[in-house]
Amino acid sequence: MPWRKTAPMDQRTQFIADFLRDALSLTELCALYGVARKTGYKWIDRYLRLGPAGLEEHSRRPHRAPNQTADEIVAATARENEVRAACVQLHLAGKLARIERPRTDGKKGRATIIYDYADPTLRVGGPSE
């Protein structure tokens, strides 16, 4: 009865009630409710195994993912990413430790700005100093 406004749980409950009355064959009952026979058998099986709770909507999510990455591999990849991030930080710190900028104190030449990450104070020095 797809044209009627009924909740799916009510429709399933009514389907089971009509099935238990044994007034119609399963084929006629499924045609009356507008469901496939496979669905009708599924509802009956769930009702007989689980009672009324078996008629509720079940999750369509798979119980397991056969292609899922193993937990050991995920953990190893996370550790490798942390090591790579630390290496990149050290590399960038080395590059940023000596950056040449134009002098701002009026002297000729280029000043070397040295930033020490262990002691974050800015020191300006030059080749002649």
pTM as predicted: 0.44
Instruction: Tell me what pLDDT residue 99 has.
Output: 59
In terms of average pLDDT, the best of 1-5, 76-80, 88-92, 118-122 is 76-80
pLDDT range class, residue 102, cuts 50, 70, 90: low
Strand (E) or helix (H) holding 101: strand 98-102
Looking at per-residue confidence, does 115 or 21 come out higher?
21
DSSP string, 50-78: HGGGGGSPPP-S-S--TTPPPHHHHHHHH
